[in-house]
Amino acid sequence: MSSNMKSSSFLRELSPVKIISKKLLVKLLGLWAGILLAAVSAYSQTLYTADISKTQTPVISGHLKLGTHVDANGRSVDANSLYFVKDGKPWYPVMGEFHFSRYPRDKWEEAILRMKANGIDVIATYIFWIYHEEEEGIFNWSNNHDVRYFIALCKKHNINVITRIGPWCHGEVRNGGFPEWIVKRGNMRKNNAEYLASVQKLYNAIAEQLKGLYFKDGGPIVGTQIENEFRFNNPAGLEHMFTLKQMAIKAGIDVPFYTATGWPGSNLKQDELIPVWGAYPEAPWDKRTTQLPLSENYTFSTLRNDPAIGSDLLGKHEEDATAYAGYRYPYATAEMGGGIQITYHRRPIIEPVDVAALAYTKIGAGANLMGYYMFHGGHNEIGKLTTLQESKATNYPNDYPILNYDFQAPLGEFGQIRPSYYDFKTLHMFLNSFGEQLVQYYPSFADKKAEGAADSTTLRFAVRSKGESGFLFISNYQRQLRLKDHNGIQFKLKLSNDHHITFPEKPIDVKTGTLAILPFNMAIESCKLKYATVQPLCIIKGKTPTYVFFAPDGIRPEYVFSKAGIASLVTNQAKINSISDTYQVNELKPGTGSIITIKMKDGKQANIITLTNRQALNSWKGYAFGNEHLCISEQNVIFANGKVKMQSPGNNQFSISVFPVVSNYPALGFKKQNDGIFTRFSKTLPAKKVAVKVAEVSDLVMYESKGIKLPEDDRNSKNTAASPGPQYQTNFTPVERAKYWVLKVPPMAGNALLDIDFRGDTGAAYINGKLVADDFYFGKTMQMLINKSSNESNILLQVVPLTNERQIYFEKGIKELLQNDTAPVLKNVKVIPEYVVEL
């Protein structure tokens, strides 16, 4: 039988298969094709492109009118049209705002160290005129007003300072910082002889306090901001700003950098003042009580200023999007929102990514000084004559809490560490270690950019580069809009001479909310990291430098090195593939044991550690045990006097992992063990069990203020029932339909926070009839510091109800927690004790 016959016979034997008709077969094939197409669509590869071949423009130097910027020891700071310079090297300053006069003097040093531990190397601070000369001719530089002592502490801990000397400051302070006697005279903020004479006296008094602390004297003061939010894009405005600068110099305020806010309108051709910019996640000063339009600040662009800043006082102002080729100054920011202060009529909740994403987008777009307002919250004083917060009663647009200036900042009103602190820390560690390169890198934008803030489908990224090296910034986040997940992403960057780099070889996924910085053609000593899908964190210097990276959540970690110059590459928790002229390190498991060791042909060596995202958030870099170390701890860490101090709110269990290995260190009372290539120290302190006694009260006579009364808060009879402002007072005063509780905390050692979960319009706490803490309800608990001075005191809590007449913006779901037109509720009160250990 022939083979053809066998085949025919075989087919006949399978004839029952004919029950699958041609139509059904076509349907089945179509179904499979659909499934396959869906699978491909679900994980389609998308190539995002950018041209970085024409980014460089000539750097202008020597044109800015700086003050004395070299000290007697040869230290120097400088600036050109692209970046700042320190001791001859490019410098990326990281600046955080902190108001010494809004914080207790005995806690200034700890606040400075907290900011330093976050990577802040410049502190900006207002010198509010009304705080220091509330009464004409009587200056107050004592206690919490002692600016000289504060700046001396900054010098002690190697933190630079920029003073913001006004005369008008804003800062949500009464009259923007003007004393009442200046306001009564009028004709302010212009070249009026009487006004300028008073300003000169102020500047002279400030200069006397700062004597010997200027950079030229070996001190930390590197800059001064003149005025604030002043329009000088016109001849009269420009003349006034130049007059104020000359008055400051005449007083003796001789600093390297003189700055001015770039909004609401600035002259960008002058060389006397470096403009500084900002962006906020929300605008609680906006008159509306509805959700605001989406902010364009979350997109990568050349937009330097937030058009919404100061719009309550200044109205609409011009936007600056000057190209780098025409810009004469380093792109510097001073008011990137570290959070936002709630107003009576707008009470937004700011999440960590709301503020971190702003920083990523502005740095990716070219910012070379990252300055935050506020980085540390505080507490308004009550003056000798008046309260000192901004209010409608003082003819300003907003009502703020009388005392609370928490700002939802990374460091709160009482020094509380917020989740945003950790997000900023990972970014600042990167800027501290890699900023010298970054400031020289120009920005480039995607060939296909997001079409405005409402575009939820286009991946948002930008590139900072010089030559063929750079960093790719990703920000897949927009406040109040969910951006899509992007699967199967690759990037193709056009380099010079029509060369391209495409990476990663295997596409990555970028989930909504992802913020990341990915390096390409990065020098690791004398070898080249062609690209990586991990984010640089820091460099630990030593005999063998250690480069620390981390894997952003959701992005598969991978390194690709050029073989050129590498003698050997070894890793313990990954797979190495030798492909063509590269070593590819993948299937990597991040953690404290993940290390790559590279030996180079020129004899150099480098280590690479890859941490998890969580470990990076809990990383701390500083000097201790005689060397520079990287520590990982979920407790709060500061470095001082060569030691590590850990603080923990509410948790008595301490653990810290330290690299490099700490050998022969006694660490008394600590358990010591290996943690990968780190050394872990752990310790448990006795638990502090503190119960608060809470009692509702109705007989209020005994709680009224005794003795000398505080100045009462102004009340504006023109305020409406929809937005009346705070109803409580500085001296305890009953409010209709409010409820009252007495809170008694037993004696305890150390500091603690009293955490008060109330429902109502406002909460106010009194001791001996005087206001000590307050808050507007916005969905978070009210907190106040308790210490030895408040122990065993009867704290009276007053909660005013939120009535139906009120027109207030709350985040979604928050207003529903309130019971309109019903009695206020106290849900819970607890003490959060502070535990402290030193290693």
Q: What pLDDT does 707 receive?
A: 85
Same fold, 88-376+410-435 and 693-838: no
CA angle 71–73–78, rounded 5-degree value: 40
The predicted-structure confidence for 42-97, as pLDDT tens digits, reads as follows 446 899 999 999 877 899 999 999 999 999 999 999 999 999 999 999 999 999 99
Q: What is the DSSP letter of 613?
A: H
CATH number of 88-376+410-435: 3.20.20.80
Peptide bond into 748 cis (omega under 30): no
Edge-to-edge strand list for the sheet holding 752-759? 636-640, 643-649, 825-838, 752-759, 782-786
**252 token code pair:** 């003796």
User: In the chain, what percentage of residues exceed pLDDT 70?
Assistant: 92
Q: Which fold has domain 693-838?
A: Jelly Rolls (2.60.120)
Query: Are 445 and 300 contacting, i.e. CB atoms less than 8 angstroms apart?
Result: yes
Q: What pLDDT does 17 receive?
A: 36
The confidence band for 791, taking pLDDT boundaries of 50, 70 and 90, is: low
The predicted-structure confidence for 638-697, as pLDDT tens digits, reads as follows 999 989 999 999 999 999 999 998 877 777 799 999 999 999 999 999 999 889 999 999
The predicted-structure confidence for 485-530, as pLDDT tens digits, reads as follows 999 999 999 998 889 999 999 999 999 999 999 999 999 999 999 9
Has residue 11 got a pLDDT over 60? no
Per-residue pLDDT, averaged over 351-373, amounts to: 99
Q: Give the start-to-end residue ranges of the domains of the chain.
A: 88-376+410-435, 457-617, 620-649+653-684, 693-838
CA angle 732–733–739, rounded 5-degree value: 95
Q: If you average pLDDT over every residue of the chain, what do you get? A: 93
CATH number of 457-617: 2.102.20.10
Has residue 338 got a pLDDT over 80? yes
Q: What pLDDT does 38 receive?
A: 44
Q: What pLDDT does 187 receive?
A: 97
| Nearest partner of 474 among 385, 346, 582, 353, judged by Cα | 353
**263 token code pair:** 């909004």
Query: Are 791 and 784 contacting, i.e. CB atoms less than 8 angstroms apart?
Result: no
Cβ neighbours, 10 Å, residue 23: 8
The predicted-structure confidence for 88-145, as pLDDT tens digits, reads as follows 999 999 999 999 999 999 999 999 999 999 999 999 999 999 999 999 999 999 999 9
The confidence band for 752, taking pLDDT boundaries of 50, 70 and 90, is: very high
Q: What pLDDT does 665 receive?
A: 74
- DSSP state letters, 350-390: PPHHHHHHHHHHHHHTT-SBEEEE-SB-EE--B-SSSB-B-
The predicted-structure confidence for 594-649, as pLDDT tens digits, reads as follows 999 999 999 999 999 999 999 999 999 999 988 999 999 999 999 999 899 999 99
Per-residue pLDDT, averaged over 178-186, amounts to: 98
Q: What's the Rg (C-alpha) of the chain?
A: 30
Q: Kindly report each contact of residues 24-31 with a partner whose C-beta sits within 8 Å and lies 24 or more positions away, as own/partner.
A: none
| Nearest partner of 752 among 648, 612, 644, judged by Cα | 648
Query: Who has greater pLDDT, 820 or 410?
Result: 410
| Whole-angstrom distance, CA of residue 429 vs CA of residue 117 | 9
Residues in the chain: 839
Q: What pLDDT does 769 receive?
A: 95
| Whole-angstrom distance, CA of residue 614 vs CA of residue 721 | 47
What residue type is assigned to position 695 of the chain? A
Has residue 417 got a pLDDT over 80? yes
Q: What pLDDT does 349 receive?
A: 99
Q: What pLDDT does 318 receive?
A: 57
Query: Who has greater pLDDT, 662 or 23?
Result: 662
Q: What pLDDT does 12 receive?
A: 34
Per-residue pLDDT, averaged over 569-588, amounts to: 96
The predicted-structure confidence for 251-261, as pLDDT tens digits, reads as follows 999 999 999 99
SS3 state of residue 240: helix
The confidence band for 2, taking pLDDT boundaries of 50, 70 and 90, is: very low
| Whole-angstrom distance, CA of residue 278 vs CA of residue 682 | 41
Q: What pLDDT does 319 receive?
A: 59
Residue 561 Cα distances to 494, 554, 586, angstroms: 20, 22, 11
Per-residue pLDDT, averaged over 768-794, amounts to: 87
Query: Are 359 and 793 contacting, i.e. CB atoms less than 8 angstroms apart?
Result: no
| Whole-angstrom distance, CA of residue 265 vs CA of residue 826 | 47
Lowest mean pLDDT among 22-31, 427-436, 544-553: 22-31
| Whole-angstrom distance, CA of residue 428 vs CA of residue 438 | 12
What residue type is assigned to position 721 of the chain? A
Strands 370-373 and 332-337: parallel
The predicted-structure confidence for 693-714, as pLDDT tens digits, reads as follows 999 999 999 998 888 999 999 9
Query: Who has greater pLDDT, 805 or 272?
Result: 272
Per-residue pLDDT, averaged over 195-224, amounts to: 99
